[in-house]
Structure 1
Amino acid sequence: MGLAVSTGGLYHPHMLNTIVHGEPTSLPPLVIAHGLYGSARNWGVIARRLSDERQVVAVDMRNHANSMWNPQHDYPHLADDIAEVIDQIGGSADVLGHSMGGKAAMTLALQHGPIVRKLVVADIAPVAYSHSQIQFIEAMRAVDFSQVSRRSDAEYQLADLGVEKALQSFFTQSLDIAGKRWLLNLDILASEMPNIMGFPKLEAAWDGPALFLSGGASDYVLPEHRDTVRFLFPGARFAKIPGAGHWLHAEKPREFEAAVRTFLNA
């Protein structure tokens, strides 16, 4: 119970690195896809807690943490990566994705429908966004590694560069202190930002059970997005976590976990 095993991608150099929590049970496994600049490790607490009922597999998305670096970073490719992981763990799974991972999870359901049993999309809609995340790449590029011997050194520098407290500690989880580098392919994430902020035009719909779970204080999923969501996902249900922003799973982990658990077990 709660045992985390990292596959390290040893046998599948092109497959995503995964952190596996718990053993397979009679319930479908849950695959978790993190957002931009995140990692499987960010989801440790929630993954561990949910693994009391089902196996939970958190992935490092391509160009993040311990997964492969690849010049293509668009949602059809990200969805194919997750499909490959699901194929390895039995061919069918529940899928939870946050932000960029949510768009990857939606694309997965639209392109590989039969392998997704239930879908949880955390604080993102299947639309193009105008607020770029490029300023965080600029901040991470500006960190002077000659002045970094511990995580807090990088946090101080990010603070001076105007990055808010919660995001400082979040970004520095992707820091390789010994190697004096970020475990993020910043160049590709920067060049692919239009794809990351966008959403592919797919002639498909997926009518399985889908929960669109948003932060009550977030502006990422707006009322005007609901028609688009319902067109692509006729089985969509909407819920909000009061007082949470875009990083709802980090801000309100207990409430987030309860909402996900209730939906998956319904």
Structure 2
Amino acid sequence: MELLHSRIIGEGRPLLILHGFLGMSDNWKTLGNLYAKNGFQVHLIDQRNHGKSFHSENFDYETLANDLKSYMANHNIPKANLIGHSMGGKTAMQFACSNPKLVEKLIVADIAPKYYPPHHSEIINGLVALNLETIASRSEADNALASHISNMGIRQFLLKNLYWVEKGKLGLRFNLPVLQYKMEEIGENISSTATFTGETLFLRGDKSEYILQNDFDTIKIHFPKATISTISNAGHWLHAENPKEFFSKTLDFLNR
């Protein structure tokens, strides 16, 4: 049984944080340190096929939720608070619905319990086109990606995954060959009958279209105790775009 890679910081109440698609635990380092200073033992987790975790052909939300269950058992965590962003939010929702007794409170960042059609194709195409045999630096990789992805913030987010496999040879941390074929799975919904009756907070960016007004009823069906709140001046990467408000709202909810 392979275990997820994580970075654990702080002491106190367990708080597990799950990154989004093509992200990694490192994306949450700054916020993780803040939660750790406020009485939490923070687990920044790399989901399978991402970051420093293992690669596998199997990739769907039930599998990702089971990875989390094994992780908690291995770390002797009887119950935890969960934060999941985007794809990580879907994993967190699936996990909470399947294992309600293991979840203290659930925070879902900018994703709804619904199906999303694949919409990352230009990102995937840009990454597939990267020739890491000939690219010798991060700036060369950025230039190559720029012809596919104009948004510099997204390029920087993706390029955090670049690392030196060996001297002079760059590689990507995520498992691109599998993820490019699992685009349908990334958009998949949790089961139509799945429910979690514990305390839940949904956060959405005011400039994001991932959680719409007409998703509120669906959220309440799956998560009857859900509170839905909006982060100002933020798109889909709300925790990075307005970390101050994100931190304040989440800490308030966790301590309530």
TM bracket (short chain): over 0.9
**Partner residue of 1:227?**
217
Cα distance in 1 for residues equivalent to 2:90 and 2:23: 14
User: For residue 76 of structure 1, what is the amino acid of its counterpart?
Assistant: E
Cα distance in 1 for residues equivalent to 2:238 and 2:140: 27
- Pairwise CA RMSD of aligned residues? 1.3
Cα distance in 2 for residues equivalent to 1:146 and 1:68: 23
2:161 counterpart of 1:174: yes
**Partner residue of 1:7?**
none
Correspondence list, 1:114-193, <5 A: 114-178=101-165, 179-193=169-183
Which string of whole-angstrom CA distances, capped at 9 and with x for unpartnered residues, describes residues 63-89 of structure 1? 011101111111001111112222224
Q: How far 1:202 sits from its partner (Å)?
A: 4.6
2:39 counterpart of 1:51: no
Report how many residues are paired: 251
Worse-superposed segment, 154-163 or 203-212: 154-163
2:196 counterpart of 1:206: yes
Q: Secondary structure at the match of 1:263?
A: helix
Q: How far 1:226 sits from its partner (Å)?
A: 1.1
Q: How far 1:152 sits from its partner (Å)?
A: 2.0
Q: How far 1:131 sits from its partner (Å)?
A: 4.5
**Partner residue of 1:30?**
15
Give me the TM-score of the superposition, normalised by structure 2: 0.94
Q: How far 1:133 sits from its partner (Å)?
A: 1.4
Cα distance in 2 for residues equivalent to 1:146 and 1:71: 24
Give yes or no for contact 2:118–2:183 (8 Å, CA) kept in 1.
no
Q: Secondary structure at the match of 1:135?
A: helix
Cα distance in 2 for residues equivalent to 1:126 and 1:45: 27
The share of aligned pairs that are identical, in percent, is: 35
User: For residue 47 of structure 1, what is the amino acid of its counterpart?
Assistant: G
Q: How far 1:108 sits from its partner (Å)?
A: 0.2
2:55 counterpart (44, 53, 69): 69
Which string of whole-angstrom CA distances, capped at 9 and with x for unpartnered residues, describes residues 241-261 of structure 1? 111000111111111111111
Give yes or no for contact 1:150–1:177 (8 Å, CA) kept in 2.
no
Cα distance in 2 for residues equivalent to 1:230 and 1:261: 22
Cα distance in 2 for residues equivalent to 1:149 and 1:22: 37
2:44 counterpart of 1:20: no
Worse-superposed segment, 29-38 or 193-202: 193-202
Give yes or no for contact 1:72–1:192 (8 Å, CA) kept in 2.
no
Give yes or no for contact 1:245–1:251 (8 Å, CA) kept in 2.
yes
Give yes or no for contact 1:19–1:58 (8 Å, CA) kept in 2.
yes
Q: Secondary structure at the match of 1:71?
A: coil
Which string of whole-angstrom CA distances, capped at 9 and with x for unpartnered residues, describes residues 177-236 of structure 1? 344221111121111111111113253311100000010110000111111110110010
Large movers: runs of 4+ above 4 Å? none
Q: Secondary structure at the match of 2:207?
A: coil
Give yes or no for contact 1:73–1:192 (8 Å, CA) kept in 2.
yes
**Partner residue of 1:197?**
187
Give yes or no for contact 2:65–2:91 (8 Å, CA) kept in 1.
yes
User: For residue 31 of structure 2, what is the amino acid of its counterpart?
Assistant: I
